Amino acid sequence: MSTEVTVPVLGESITEATLGEWLKKPGDAVKADEPIASLETDKVSIEVPSPVAGVMGQQVVKVGDTVNVGAVIASIEAGGAVSAPTSAAVSATAGQQAPAAERTGDGLSPTLSPSVRRLVLEKGVDPSTIKGSGKDGRLTRDDVLGAPAAAPKSEPSPAAASVTAAAPIAVTGERGEERVRITRLRQTVARRLKEAQNTAALLTTFNDVDMTAVIEARTKYKDLFEKKHGVRLGFMGFFVKAACQALRDIPNVNAQIDGDEIVYHDYADISVAVSAPNGLVVPVIRDAQEMSVAQIEKTIGDFGARAKAGTLTMDDMKGGTFTISNGGVFGSLMSTPIINPPQSAVLGLHRIEDRAVVRDGQVVVRPMMYLALSYDHRLIDGREAVTFLVALKNAIEDPTRLLIDL
C-alpha cells in the first residue's frame, strides 16, 4: 500500500514552487512528519513532510521542476525499514562496514543541501563532527563556516602517501566550470530589483553618524539588558527605534505609490535583512513603532534563528513599509541599496570605524558609520530624505531623544 505525497499549501496567492532537493532517496526509511523534500517559493524554502511512516517510494518529479499546490510529487510505501540485503551479504560485510566516504560516494550525508555539500568539500571538514543548527539538526552554511578545517593525518599510510604525492601531477592547468540552476528565490530577487530600477526614480542620499553615545550605552548596560531580557543588546534596536520616530515625522518615507494615489501608513512595519543559508531574507517587524528596544531585539533574534533553521514563513516576510539593511556586519563601508517595491525607501547601515572628525574646534577620533538612504524620488524629495537622515543621526548620537520622544 502506498500513500501519495502532495505539495502543501504554500501561502496566500502562492500557487507553485520549484523542487529544490530531495532529502530522502527511494528505499530510505521515513518517519511520519519527517521532511522528504524541500520546495523553493518566491520568498522562502519549505520542507515537505511525509504524511505517514514507511519507505520512500517513487519520486514523480525531478529537482528543478515546477510543481503546483496539490500536485503529487512522490509516494510512501508501507513498511518501516529500508529493504535489506540477503543474510549472506550481511554476514559477508559484518564487521567490515565501509567508512562514510565510501558509503555515500563523496563522504557526505545525502541530506546535505547542494550549497552546504559544496562548502563541506571546499573546507575539507567531516560533516559528522559538526552539530547542525538547522531544522532536525541539519547542517547550514554557517555551521560549516564556523567549523575548523580537518587536520592532516600525522602518519599517512603508504597508499595515501602515494596518492598525495601523485596529486600535483594530476593538476593540468585546465579551467573548470560548473552550471547551477538559479534558485526560485534568487530569480524573484533579481526580477524585483530590476523592476525597482526600471520603475522608480532611484536616488541615494548619504550622511554619517557618530556612534560614541550608543556604544557607551551598549557597553554600560549590555550585561544587565541580557540578564533581564534574555537577548543581547545590539545596534539594530536603536536604529529601528530611531527610524520609527523619523518615519513618523517624515511620512512620505513610509508611504508608497499605488497607481495615481499615495498610500500613507500610520504604522511602521520594518523589514530587516537577515542572513539565511540560501542568502538574505527580509522578514518584517510588525508595528515596530509600538515596541521597546528589547522587544525589537528579541524579534530580530528570533528571525535570525528561524532563518538559519529554514523555518521562516511567507507571512513573516509579507508586507513591510520601510527596510533597514545592515551591510556593516559583512564589512561594507558604503553602498547604494535598492528599494524593495512597493516600499519607497531603504536605509543602509555600514561598518563602524574610527575616523578623525572635528569637535569643538579640535580634531578627535570617533567611531563613525556611514548611512545611506535610497528612495523613490517620484514620492520623496531631497529635502525630505536629508531631513529623515538628520533626524535619525540626531537620535543615534543622543539616544536620550528616543526616551523623551524628540
By C-alpha distance, which of 86, 71, 89, 126 is closest to 104? 126
Report the distance separating Cα 406 and Cα 394, nearest Å: 9
Report the distance separating Cα 381 and Cα 372, nearest Å: 15
> Residues near 358 by Cβ (< 8 Å), separated by ≥ 6?
364
At residue 298's C-alpha, the angle toward residues 294 and 301, to 5°, is: 135
By C-alpha distance, which of 120, 116, 106 is closest to 138? 116
Residue 170 grid coordinates: 594530476
Report the distance separating Cα 355 and Cα 116, nearest Å: 38
Render 34-58 in DSSP notation, one character per residue: -EEEEEE-SS-EEEEEPSSSEEEEE
Catalytic positions, written as ranges: 377, 381
DSSP helix/strand/coil, 314: coil
> In terms of C-beta density within 10 A (0-12 exposed, 13-18 middle, 19 or more buried), how is residue 220 classed?
exposed
Integer Rg of the chain from CA = 26
Q: Look up cell 604525492; give the residue.
A: 165
Contact 398, 405 (CB under 8 A): no
Report the distance separating Cα 303 and Cα 297, nearest Å: 10
Q: Look up cell 531574507; give the residue.
A: 281
* Beta-carbon count within 10 A of 126 CB: 13
By C-alpha distance, which of 72, 70, 62 is closest to 2? 72
* Beta-carbon count within 10 A of 365 CB: 9
Contact 67, 16 (CB under 8 A): yes
Residue 255 grid coordinates: 508611504
* Beta-carbon count within 10 A of 17 CB: 26
Q: What share of the chain is helix, strand, coil (3-state, %, to 5)?
A: 35, 25, 40
